[in-house]
C-alpha cells in the first residue's frame, strides 16, 4: 500500500488546540491520488484514451513521491507544534484529492476509500479538510462515491476541528476556528454555492475569512478561461462573487491550474487576495520555472507561459486579461509545485511556500488584503 511507510494515525496523538487568534495550517495543492487497481482500463481506453498517460504518471507519483510529501508535512507540523503561536489547526487541501476516471461507482468508492486510508495512515495528528475538485467527481459513479466516502470523512475531520459542527452533506460547508472562518465552496454546483455563500457572508463574525475553492476566482497564466463563472452568460454571478469576496476582504485558496499564484483584486468596494498552489510532484525536488513577478506581468502576454496550450482560443484568452487587469493590484506566478504553511498571528496572515518535498523556504506572501480596494 502507498501509505505503508508512514506511521499509523493512532500512534500520533493530536497536539493541544492552538490559541484562538494565533495558529497555523498546512496547505496542499492538487494531489491526484491514484492506484492502478482503481481503474477499469478497458473503460479508460474506450472513453478516455488521452488520459491513460496521466493515470500512469499519477499512479507513479502516488507510489513514489506523495508518501515523501506527507512525511515532510508531518515533520513540519511537529516543528510548528513546538510553539503555541504556530500550533497547527488543520491541513487544508484545495481539491483534486484523487485522480478519478475509475470507470464504475464500485471502483470510484474503492478509489476514494484508498485516499482516505492513505490520509489516516499518514499520522498527521490534525484534521484534514478539502474542497471538491473536478477530478474528485469525474467518471461513472464518482459523484455518488464522493458522497458515500468523502462526506462521512469530512464530517469526522471537521468535528475534530469544531466538535459542534453539523454533518457534512454537500461540498458546501464552513469550519469555524478561533479568529477564522473557513468556507468550502463547491465550484461544480457554483450557482447554488453562490447563494449559500451570500448567506454565510452575511452572518460572518470571524476576523479572517478563508475561501477554499478548486478553480481560480481570478484567472492567471495560460488557462485564462478556467476560472469560476468564466462563461459570458455567468457574468452577473461572477460579479456578485467578486463583490462578496472584496467586501469580506477574503483570502481565496485554490489550485486546479497546477501552478503557484498570488494576487490581489479589487471588488465590492474592497479587495481580496488569492493564493494558489500545486502539490503534483513528479520528484522530491522542484525548481521554479516561468516566474512572473509584479503587476507589470499581469498582461495578456502571460499566456506565453504555456505556448502550445489551446492556440485556437488565444484571442479569447488575451481578452480576458485586458478586462481583468485594471482591477488586479498585485501578481506573482511560477511553475513550482510544493506545499505551504499559512500562519495566523492576530491581524496578520502569511503563507510560506516550500518547493517540492523540501524544508527550504522559497517565498513568503502576505495574505491580508489591503484595507482599501
Is residue 299 one of the residues assigned to a domain? yes
Is residue 368 one of the residues assigned to a domain? no
Q: Are 72 and 358 in contact (CB under 8 A)?
A: yes
Percent of the chain with pLDDT over 90: 93
Residue 125 has pLDDT above 60, yes or no: yes
**What is the pLDDT averaged over residues 222-242?**
98
Is residue 132 one of the residues assigned to a domain? yes
In order, the DSSP letters of 6-22 are: SPPGGGSPPPPPPPTTE
Residue 5 has pLDDT above 90, yes or no: no
Which domain CATH number covers 216? 3.60.21.10
The predicted structure's pLDDT at residue 4: 38
Is residue 372 one of the residues assigned to a domain? no
> Counting Cβ atoms within 10 Å, is residue 313 exposed (0-12), middle (13-18) or buried (19+)?
middle
**125 phi, psi to nearest 5 deg:** 75, 15
pLDDT tens-digit profile of 48-105? 999 999 999 999 999 999 999 999 999 999 999 999 999 999 999 999 999 999 999 9
Element (H, E) at 26: strand 22-28
Mean predicted lDDT score pLDDT of the chain: 95
The predicted structure's pLDDT at residue 15: 55
Is residue 77 one of the residues assigned to a domain? yes
**Number of compact structural domains in the chain:** 1
**What is the pLDDT averaged over residues 313-324?**
98
**What is the pLDDT averaged over residues 114-133?**
98
Is residue 13 one of the residues assigned to a domain? no
Q: Predicted confidence band at 16 (pLDDT cuts at 50, 70, 90)?
A: low
Q: Give the residue numbers spanning the domain of 25.
A: 18-363
pLDDT tens-digit profile of 276-288? 999 999 999 999 9
Q: Are 212 and 295 in contact (CB under 8 A)?
A: no
Is residue 140 one of the residues assigned to a domain? yes
Residue 144 has pLDDT above 50, yes or no: yes
The predicted structure's pLDDT at residue 371: 81
Percent of the chain with pLDDT over 70: 94
pLDDT tens-digit profile of 258-305? 999 999 999 999 999 999 999 999 999 999 999 999 999 999 999 999
Question: Distances from the Cα of 88 to the Cαs of 22, 125, 178, in angstroms?
Answer: 10, 9, 12
Report pTM.
0.94
Is residue 126 one of the residues assigned to a domain? yes
Q: Which residue has the higher pLDDT, 255 or 371?
A: 255
Return left, alpha or beta for 338; rule: phi > 0 is left, psi -120 to 50 is alpha, else beta: left
Question: Distances from the Cα of 206 to the Cαs of 20, 248, 284, 335, 350, in angstroms?
Answer: 11, 10, 37, 33, 17
Amino acid at each position: 500500500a502507498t501509505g505503508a511507510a508512514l506511521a499509523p494515525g493512532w500512534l500520533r496523538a493530536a497536539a493541544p488546540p492552538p490559541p484562538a487568534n494565533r495558529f497555523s495550517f498546512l496547505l496542499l495543492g492538487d494531489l491526484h491520488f491514484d492506484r492502478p487497481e482503481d481503474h477499469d482500463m478497458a473503460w479508460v481506453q474506450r472513453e478516455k484514451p488521452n488520459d491513460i498517460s496521466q493515470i500512469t504518471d499519477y499512479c507513479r507519483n502516488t507510489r513514489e513521491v506523495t508518501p515523501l510529501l506527507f512525511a515532510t508535512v508531518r515533520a513540519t507540523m511537529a516543528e510548528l507544534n513546538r510553539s503555541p503561536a504556530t500550533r497547527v489547526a488543520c491541513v487544508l487541501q484545495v481539491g483534486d484529492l484523487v485522480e478519478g476516471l475509475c470507470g464504475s461507482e464500485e471502483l470510484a468508492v474503492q478509489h476514494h476509500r484508498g485516499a482516505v486510508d492513505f490520509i489516516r495512515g499518514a499520522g498527521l495528528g490534525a484534521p484534514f479538510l478539502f474542497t471538491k475538485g473536478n477530478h474528485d467527481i469525474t467518471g461513472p459513479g464518482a459523484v455518488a462515491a464522493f458522497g458515500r466516502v468523502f462526506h462521512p470523512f469530512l464530517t469526522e475531520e471537521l468535528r475534530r476541528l469544531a466538535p459542534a459542527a453539523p454533518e457534512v452533506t454537500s461540498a458546501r460547508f464552513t469550519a469555524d476556528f478561533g479568529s477564522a472562518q473557513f468556507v468550502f465552496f463547491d465550484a461544480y454546483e457554483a450557482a447554488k454555492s453562490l447563494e449559500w455563500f451570500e448567506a454565510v457572508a452575511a452572518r460572518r463574525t470571524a476576523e479572517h475569512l478563508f475561501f477554499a475553492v478548486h478553480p481560480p476566482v481570478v484567472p492567471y497564466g495560460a488557462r485564462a478561461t478556467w476560472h469560476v463563472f468564466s462563461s459570458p452568460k455567468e457574468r452577473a454571478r461572477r460579479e456578485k462573487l467578486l463583490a462578496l469576496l472584496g467586501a469580506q476582504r477574503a483570502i481565496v485558496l485554490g489550485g486546479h491550474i497546477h501552478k503557484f499564484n498570488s494576487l490581489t483584486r479589487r471588488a465590492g468596494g474592497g479587495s481580496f487576495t488569492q493564493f494558489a498552489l500545486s502539490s503534483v510532484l513528479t520528484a522530491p525536488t522542484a525548481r521554479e520555472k516561468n516566474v512572473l513577478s509584479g503587476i507589470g506581468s499581469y498582461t495578456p502576454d502571460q499566456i506565453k507561459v504555456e505556448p502550445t496550450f489551446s492556440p485556437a482560443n488565444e484571442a479569447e484568452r488575451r481578452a480576458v486579461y485586458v478586462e481583468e487587469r485594471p482591477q488586479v493590484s498585485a501578481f506573482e506566478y511560477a511553475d513550482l509545485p510544493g506545499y505551504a504553511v499559512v500562519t495566523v498571528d492576530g491581524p496578520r496572515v502569511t503563507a510560506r511556500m516550500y518547493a517540492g518535498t523540501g524544508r527550504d523556504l522559497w517565498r513568503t506572501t502576505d495574505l491580508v488584503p489591503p484595507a482599501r480596494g
